[in-house]
Amino acid sequence: MRIWKRMTAAVALLSLLGCAPEQQQQPTATAEPAKTYQWKMVTTWPKNFPGLGVAPERFAEKVATMSAGRLTVKVYGAGDLVPAFEVFDTVSQGTAQMGHSAAYYWKGKVPAAQVFTTIPFGMNAQQMNGWLNQGGGLELWQELYAPFGLIPMPGGNTGVQMGGWFNKEINTLEDLDGLKMRMPGLGGEVLSRLGGVPVTLPGGELFTALQTGAIDATEWVGPYNDLAFGLHKAAKFYYYPGWHEPGTALEFIINEQAFKGLPADLQAIVTTAAQAVNQEMLDEYTSRNIEALRSLVEDHGVQIKPWPPEVLASLQQAADEVLAEQAEKDPAMKKALDAYQQFAQGVRGYHAISENSYDQLYR
Ligand code: CA
Protein backbone atom coordinates (compact mmCIF):
# COMPACT_ATOMS: atom_id res chain seq x y z
CA MET A 1 0.00 0.00 0.00
CA ARG A 2 2.81 2.32 0.91
CA ILE A 3 4.43 1.74 -2.50
CA TRP A 4 1.14 2.44 -4.27
CA LYS A 5 0.79 5.73 -2.39
CA ARG A 6 4.30 6.74 -3.32
CA MET A 7 3.69 5.93 -7.00
CA THR A 8 0.46 7.91 -6.99
CA ALA A 9 2.29 10.86 -5.45
CA ALA A 10 5.03 10.59 -8.05
CA VAL A 11 2.54 10.55 -10.93
CA ALA A 12 0.80 13.58 -9.44
CA LEU A 13 4.11 15.43 -9.22
CA LEU A 14 4.99 14.56 -12.82
CA SER A 15 1.56 15.81 -13.93
CA LEU A 16 2.22 19.08 -12.18
CA LEU A 17 5.51 19.35 -14.05
CA GLY A 18 3.71 18.73 -17.34
CA CYS A 19 5.30 15.40 -18.13
CA ALA A 20 2.99 12.53 -17.26
CA PRO A 21 4.46 9.02 -17.79
CA GLU A 22 2.13 8.49 -20.77
CA GLN A 23 3.60 11.52 -22.49
CA GLN A 24 7.14 10.40 -21.79
CA GLN A 25 6.59 7.13 -23.66
CA GLN A 26 5.38 8.76 -26.83
CA PRO A 27 7.90 9.54 -29.57
CA THR A 28 8.79 13.19 -29.65
CA ALA A 29 8.11 15.27 -32.74
CA THR A 30 11.83 15.77 -33.21
CA ALA A 31 12.71 12.01 -33.37
CA GLU A 32 15.04 11.18 -36.24
CA PRO A 33 13.66 8.99 -39.05
CA ALA A 34 14.84 5.36 -39.00
CA LYS A 35 18.32 5.02 -40.44
CA THR A 36 18.41 3.44 -43.89
CA TYR A 37 21.11 1.31 -45.48
CA GLN A 38 21.86 0.93 -49.19
CA TRP A 39 23.88 -2.13 -50.11
CA LYS A 40 25.37 -3.39 -53.34
CA MET A 41 25.43 -7.10 -54.21
CA VAL A 42 27.83 -8.32 -56.91
CA THR A 43 27.19 -11.72 -58.49
CA THR A 44 28.84 -14.32 -60.72
CA TRP A 45 25.76 -14.75 -62.95
CA PRO A 46 24.16 -12.85 -65.80
CA LYS A 47 21.56 -10.56 -64.23
CA ASN A 48 18.24 -12.37 -63.68
CA PHE A 49 19.63 -15.64 -65.11
CA PRO A 50 17.13 -18.44 -64.27
CA GLY A 51 17.72 -19.91 -60.83
CA LEU A 52 21.22 -18.63 -60.05
CA GLY A 53 20.61 -15.02 -61.01
CA VAL A 54 17.02 -14.89 -59.74
CA ALA A 55 18.09 -15.81 -56.20
CA PRO A 56 19.90 -12.52 -55.49
CA GLU A 57 16.93 -10.55 -56.85
CA ARG A 58 14.55 -12.47 -54.59
CA PHE A 59 16.84 -11.85 -51.65
CA ALA A 60 16.79 -8.10 -52.35
CA GLU A 61 12.97 -8.07 -52.65
CA LYS A 62 12.47 -9.95 -49.39
CA VAL A 63 14.90 -7.75 -47.48
CA ALA A 64 13.31 -4.54 -48.79
CA THR A 65 9.81 -5.76 -47.85
CA MET A 66 10.69 -7.19 -44.44
CA SER A 67 12.65 -4.08 -43.47
CA ALA A 68 10.02 -1.69 -44.88
CA GLY A 69 12.74 -0.18 -47.06
CA ARG A 70 15.28 0.39 -44.28
CA LEU A 71 17.73 -1.93 -46.04
CA THR A 72 17.84 -1.99 -49.84
CA VAL A 73 20.17 -4.16 -51.92
CA LYS A 74 21.04 -3.29 -55.51
CA VAL A 75 21.98 -6.41 -57.49
CA TYR A 76 24.71 -6.36 -60.15
CA GLY A 77 25.10 -9.10 -62.79
CA ALA A 78 28.49 -10.50 -63.76
CA GLY A 79 30.57 -7.77 -65.37
CA ASP A 80 28.19 -4.94 -64.41
CA LEU A 81 30.31 -3.69 -61.53
CA VAL A 82 33.09 -6.31 -61.43
CA PRO A 83 33.85 -9.48 -63.43
CA ALA A 84 32.22 -12.79 -62.43
CA PHE A 85 35.23 -14.13 -60.57
CA GLU A 86 36.05 -10.98 -58.58
CA VAL A 87 33.04 -11.26 -56.29
CA PHE A 88 35.03 -12.64 -53.34
CA ASP A 89 37.69 -9.89 -53.38
CA THR A 90 35.16 -7.12 -54.02
CA VAL A 91 33.10 -8.03 -50.95
CA SER A 92 36.17 -8.77 -48.84
CA GLN A 93 37.45 -5.25 -49.59
CA GLY A 94 34.04 -3.73 -48.89
CA THR A 95 33.55 -2.19 -52.35
CA ALA A 96 30.26 -4.10 -52.31
CA GLN A 97 28.60 -5.14 -49.05
CA MET A 98 27.62 -8.57 -50.32
CA GLY A 99 27.90 -11.08 -53.14
CA HIS A 100 26.23 -14.17 -54.58
CA SER A 101 28.45 -16.83 -56.07
CA ALA A 102 29.82 -20.34 -55.42
CA ALA A 103 32.66 -21.04 -53.00
CA TYR A 104 34.54 -23.42 -55.33
CA TYR A 105 35.42 -20.51 -57.60
CA TRP A 106 37.84 -19.33 -54.88
CA LYS A 107 39.88 -22.55 -54.81
CA GLY A 108 43.05 -20.67 -55.88
CA LYS A 109 42.80 -18.47 -52.79
CA VAL A 110 41.06 -20.77 -50.29
CA PRO A 111 41.27 -24.44 -51.41
CA ALA A 112 39.00 -25.64 -48.57
CA ALA A 113 36.18 -23.38 -49.82
CA GLN A 114 35.41 -26.04 -52.42
CA VAL A 115 34.09 -28.36 -49.72
CA PHE A 116 31.31 -25.85 -48.98
CA THR A 117 30.04 -25.96 -52.57
CA THR A 118 30.20 -29.64 -53.45
CA ILE A 119 32.73 -32.42 -53.88
CA PRO A 120 32.82 -35.17 -56.54
CA PHE A 121 30.67 -38.15 -55.49
CA GLY A 122 29.71 -36.20 -52.35
CA MET A 123 26.42 -35.33 -50.69
CA ASN A 124 23.19 -34.38 -52.46
CA ALA A 125 21.29 -31.14 -51.78
CA GLN A 126 19.19 -32.48 -48.93
CA GLN A 127 22.25 -33.87 -47.19
CA MET A 128 24.33 -30.76 -47.87
CA ASN A 129 21.66 -28.51 -46.36
CA GLY A 130 21.50 -30.80 -43.34
CA TRP A 131 25.24 -30.56 -42.86
CA LEU A 132 25.54 -26.80 -43.42
CA ASN A 133 22.47 -25.66 -41.50
CA GLN A 134 22.15 -28.24 -38.74
CA GLY A 135 25.30 -30.34 -38.76
CA GLY A 136 28.11 -27.88 -38.00
CA GLY A 137 29.16 -27.21 -41.61
CA LEU A 138 28.23 -23.52 -41.60
CA GLU A 139 30.32 -22.86 -38.48
CA LEU A 140 33.40 -24.32 -40.22
CA TRP A 141 32.67 -22.23 -43.32
CA GLN A 142 32.40 -19.07 -41.20
CA GLU A 143 35.72 -19.89 -39.57
CA LEU A 144 37.33 -20.36 -42.99
CA TYR A 145 36.12 -16.98 -44.33
CA ALA A 146 36.70 -14.94 -41.13
CA PRO A 147 40.32 -13.97 -42.07
CA PHE A 148 38.89 -12.34 -45.23
CA GLY A 149 36.33 -10.29 -43.29
CA LEU A 150 33.52 -12.28 -44.89
CA ILE A 151 30.44 -14.00 -43.49
CA PRO A 152 29.14 -16.88 -45.69
CA MET A 153 25.54 -18.08 -45.81
CA PRO A 154 24.12 -20.91 -47.96
CA GLY A 155 22.59 -19.21 -51.01
CA GLY A 156 20.66 -21.92 -52.86
CA ASN A 157 21.31 -25.38 -54.24
CA THR A 158 20.94 -26.77 -57.75
CA GLY A 159 20.40 -30.39 -56.75
CA VAL A 160 22.35 -33.10 -58.63
CA GLN A 161 23.70 -31.49 -61.79
CA MET A 162 24.03 -33.05 -65.24
CA GLY A 163 27.31 -34.55 -66.41
CA GLY A 164 27.73 -32.15 -69.30
CA TRP A 165 27.54 -31.58 -73.05
CA PHE A 166 29.72 -33.52 -75.50
CA ASN A 167 30.06 -33.64 -79.26
CA LYS A 168 31.20 -37.25 -79.16
CA GLU A 169 30.14 -40.24 -77.15
CA ILE A 170 32.12 -41.15 -74.06
CA ASN A 171 32.48 -44.93 -74.14
CA THR A 172 35.87 -45.58 -72.58
CA LEU A 173 38.45 -43.75 -70.48
CA GLU A 174 40.41 -43.01 -73.67
CA ASP A 175 37.59 -40.70 -74.74
CA LEU A 176 38.48 -38.40 -71.83
CA ASP A 177 42.14 -38.20 -72.84
CA GLY A 178 42.98 -34.69 -73.99
CA LEU A 179 39.34 -33.61 -73.68
CA LYS A 180 39.25 -29.87 -73.01
CA MET A 181 36.24 -29.45 -70.77
CA ARG A 182 34.85 -26.64 -68.69
CA MET A 183 34.58 -28.09 -65.20
CA PRO A 184 35.21 -26.02 -62.06
CA GLY A 185 36.35 -27.07 -58.60
CA LEU A 186 37.50 -30.51 -57.53
CA GLY A 187 35.66 -32.14 -60.44
CA GLY A 188 38.16 -30.49 -62.76
CA GLU A 189 41.06 -31.93 -60.72
CA VAL A 190 39.53 -35.39 -61.06
CA LEU A 191 39.07 -34.96 -64.81
CA SER A 192 42.72 -33.95 -65.21
CA ARG A 193 43.78 -37.09 -63.32
CA LEU A 194 42.27 -39.12 -66.18
CA GLY A 195 43.90 -37.08 -68.93
CA GLY A 196 41.23 -34.42 -69.40
CA VAL A 197 42.06 -30.71 -69.56
CA PRO A 198 39.74 -28.81 -67.16
CA VAL A 199 38.93 -25.17 -67.89
CA THR A 200 37.14 -22.68 -65.64
CA LEU A 201 34.94 -20.22 -67.50
CA PRO A 202 32.00 -18.11 -66.28
CA GLY A 203 28.62 -19.37 -67.49
CA GLY A 204 28.11 -16.46 -69.85
CA GLU A 205 31.08 -17.57 -71.98
CA LEU A 206 30.22 -21.26 -72.32
CA PHE A 207 28.07 -21.29 -75.45
CA THR A 208 30.59 -19.41 -77.59
CA ALA A 209 33.53 -21.43 -76.25
CA LEU A 210 31.75 -24.70 -77.09
CA GLN A 211 30.47 -23.55 -80.46
CA THR A 212 33.82 -22.22 -81.64
CA GLY A 213 35.67 -25.33 -80.46
CA ALA A 214 37.71 -23.43 -77.87
CA ILE A 215 36.54 -26.23 -75.55
CA ASP A 216 35.44 -29.77 -76.50
CA ALA A 217 32.83 -30.18 -73.80
CA THR A 218 31.22 -28.32 -70.95
CA GLU A 219 29.15 -28.90 -67.92
CA TRP A 220 26.96 -26.12 -66.56
CA VAL A 221 24.07 -26.96 -64.26
CA GLY A 222 21.08 -28.97 -65.45
CA PRO A 223 18.24 -28.88 -68.00
CA TYR A 224 16.64 -25.61 -66.80
CA ASN A 225 19.87 -23.58 -66.93
CA ASP A 226 21.51 -25.38 -69.84
CA LEU A 227 18.45 -24.85 -72.06
CA ALA A 228 18.53 -21.13 -71.19
CA PHE A 229 22.12 -20.89 -72.46
CA GLY A 230 21.27 -22.85 -75.63
CA LEU A 231 24.04 -25.39 -75.02
CA HIS A 232 22.03 -27.99 -77.00
CA LYS A 233 22.74 -25.91 -80.11
CA ALA A 234 26.47 -26.52 -79.70
CA ALA A 235 26.50 -30.21 -78.62
CA LYS A 236 24.09 -33.12 -78.81
CA PHE A 237 25.16 -35.66 -76.18
CA TYR A 238 24.03 -34.85 -72.66
CA TYR A 239 25.51 -37.12 -69.98
CA TYR A 240 24.21 -37.99 -66.52
CA PRO A 241 24.61 -37.84 -63.62
CA GLY A 242 26.81 -34.91 -62.60
CA TRP A 243 29.19 -36.99 -60.48
CA HIS A 244 31.34 -33.88 -60.10
CA GLU A 245 28.53 -31.74 -58.59
CA PRO A 246 25.98 -33.87 -56.75
CA GLY A 247 24.47 -31.05 -54.67
CA THR A 248 26.02 -27.73 -55.48
CA ALA A 249 25.53 -25.12 -52.77
CA LEU A 250 25.67 -21.46 -53.79
CA GLU A 251 26.76 -18.78 -51.35
CA PHE A 252 25.83 -15.37 -50.11
CA ILE A 253 28.93 -13.62 -48.81
CA ILE A 254 28.59 -10.55 -46.64
CA ASN A 255 31.23 -8.05 -45.64
CA GLU A 256 31.62 -8.56 -41.89
CA GLN A 257 31.87 -4.86 -41.05
CA ALA A 258 28.79 -4.05 -43.08
CA PHE A 259 26.84 -6.83 -41.36
CA LYS A 260 27.96 -5.75 -37.89
CA GLY A 261 26.96 -2.19 -38.75
CA LEU A 262 23.31 -3.25 -39.05
CA PRO A 263 20.93 -3.19 -36.07
CA ALA A 264 19.93 -6.63 -34.77
CA ASP A 265 16.55 -6.70 -36.52
CA LEU A 266 18.10 -6.00 -39.94
CA GLN A 267 20.75 -8.64 -39.30
CA ALA A 268 17.96 -11.13 -38.60
CA ILE A 269 16.17 -10.05 -41.78
CA VAL A 270 19.32 -10.65 -43.85
CA THR A 271 19.87 -14.09 -42.31
CA THR A 272 16.23 -15.11 -42.68
CA ALA A 273 15.99 -13.90 -46.28
CA ALA A 274 19.11 -15.91 -47.16
CA GLN A 275 17.59 -19.04 -45.58
CA ALA A 276 14.37 -18.56 -47.52
CA VAL A 277 16.18 -18.06 -50.83
CA ASN A 278 18.40 -21.08 -50.13
CA GLN A 279 15.34 -23.34 -50.09
CA GLU A 280 13.50 -21.52 -52.90
CA MET A 281 16.30 -22.12 -55.37
CA LEU A 282 16.30 -25.87 -54.83
CA ASP A 283 12.51 -25.92 -55.18
CA GLU A 284 12.76 -23.92 -58.40
CA TYR A 285 15.27 -26.34 -59.95
CA THR A 286 13.25 -29.35 -58.84
CA SER A 287 10.20 -27.90 -60.55
CA ARG A 288 11.66 -26.28 -63.69
CA ASN A 289 14.02 -29.10 -64.69
CA ILE A 290 11.03 -31.30 -65.53
CA GLU A 291 9.78 -29.25 -68.48
CA ALA A 292 13.28 -28.24 -69.59
CA LEU A 293 14.39 -31.87 -69.85
CA ARG A 294 11.28 -32.72 -71.86
CA SER A 295 11.94 -29.82 -74.21
CA LEU A 296 15.62 -30.71 -74.71
CA VAL A 297 14.73 -34.28 -75.69
CA GLU A 298 11.47 -33.79 -77.59
CA ASP A 299 11.88 -30.33 -79.15
CA HIS A 300 15.65 -30.29 -79.69
CA GLY A 301 16.61 -33.96 -80.22
CA VAL A 302 19.18 -34.05 -77.44
CA GLN A 303 20.50 -37.54 -76.64
CA ILE A 304 20.54 -38.29 -72.92
CA LYS A 305 23.32 -40.75 -72.04
CA PRO A 306 24.47 -42.37 -68.79
CA TRP A 307 28.17 -42.40 -67.97
CA PRO A 308 29.56 -45.89 -68.70
CA PRO A 309 29.93 -47.72 -65.33
CA GLU A 310 33.65 -48.38 -65.84
CA VAL A 311 34.30 -44.68 -66.55
CA LEU A 312 32.35 -43.71 -63.43
CA ALA A 313 34.30 -46.24 -61.35
CA SER A 314 37.61 -44.75 -62.54
CA LEU A 315 36.38 -41.23 -61.89
CA GLN A 316 35.34 -42.22 -58.37
CA GLN A 317 38.73 -43.78 -57.68
CA ALA A 318 40.46 -40.66 -59.00
CA ALA A 319 38.20 -38.51 -56.81
CA ASP A 320 39.27 -40.43 -53.70
CA GLU A 321 42.92 -39.86 -54.62
CA VAL A 322 42.44 -36.16 -55.35
CA LEU A 323 40.62 -35.56 -52.06
CA ALA A 324 43.24 -37.45 -50.05
CA GLU A 325 46.06 -35.46 -51.68
CA GLN A 326 44.32 -32.13 -51.16
CA ALA A 327 43.73 -32.95 -47.49
CA GLU A 328 47.39 -33.81 -47.06
CA LYS A 329 48.52 -30.50 -48.59
CA ASP A 330 46.25 -28.17 -46.62
CA PRO A 331 45.21 -28.48 -42.94
CA ALA A 332 42.08 -26.33 -43.53
CA MET A 333 41.05 -28.65 -46.37
CA LYS A 334 41.61 -31.66 -44.15
CA LYS A 335 39.51 -30.20 -41.37
CA ALA A 336 36.62 -29.35 -43.71
CA LEU A 337 36.79 -32.66 -45.58
CA ASP A 338 36.93 -34.73 -42.38
CA ALA A 339 33.80 -33.02 -41.06
CA TYR A 340 32.07 -33.34 -44.44
CA GLN A 341 32.91 -37.04 -44.81
CA GLN A 342 31.88 -37.84 -41.26
CA PHE A 343 28.46 -36.29 -41.81
CA ALA A 344 28.18 -37.87 -45.28
CA GLN A 345 28.88 -41.32 -43.92
CA GLY A 346 26.25 -40.96 -41.22
CA VAL A 347 23.53 -39.52 -43.40
CA ARG A 348 24.11 -42.11 -46.14
CA GLY A 349 23.57 -44.86 -43.62
CA TYR A 350 20.23 -43.38 -42.72
CA HIS A 351 19.23 -42.45 -46.28
CA ALA A 352 20.00 -46.00 -47.43
CA ILE A 353 16.98 -47.18 -45.46
CA SER A 354 14.83 -44.07 -45.99
CA GLU A 355 15.11 -41.83 -49.09
CA ASN A 356 17.04 -44.26 -51.28
CA SER A 357 15.12 -47.32 -50.20
CA TYR A 358 11.88 -45.51 -51.02
CA ASP A 359 13.22 -44.42 -54.47
CA GLN A 360 13.82 -48.09 -55.34
CA LEU A 361 10.06 -48.62 -55.36
CA TYR A 362 9.91 -46.72 -58.65
CA ARG A 363 12.61 -48.70 -60.45
CA1 CA B 1 28.24 -27.03 -62.74
Residues 240-272 have pLDDT tens digits of: 999 999 999 999 999 999 999 999 999 999 999
- Give the residue extent of every domain in the chain: 37-158+247-288, 164-246+298-352
Q: Residue 28: its pLDDT value, please?
A: 53
Burial of 317 (C-beta count, 10 Å sphere; 0-12/13-18/19+): middle
Contact indicator for 161, 119 with CB cutoff of 8 Å: no
Backbone angles phi, psi at 349, to 5 degrees: -60, -45
The kind and range of the H/E element at 38 are strand 37-43
Ligand 1 mean position to 263 CA, how many Å? Answer: 37
Domains 37-158+247-288 and 164-246+298-352 belong to one CATH topology: yes
Q: Residue 38: its pLDDT value, please?
A: 98
**CATH T-level fold of 37-158+247-288:** D-Maltodextrin-Binding Protein; domain 2 (3.40.190)
Q: Residue 264: its pLDDT value, please?
A: 98
Q: Which CATH class is domain 164-246+298-352?
A: alpha beta
Ligand 1 mean position to 160 CA, how many Å? Answer: 9
Ligand 1 mean position to 221 CA, how many Å? Answer: 4
Ligand 1 mean position to 18 CA, how many Å? Answer: 69
- In tens, the pLDDT along 22-81 reads 445 555 556 677 899 999 999 999 999 999 999 999 999 999 999 999 999 999 999 999
What's the maximum distance between 2 C-alpha atoms anywhere in the chain? 95
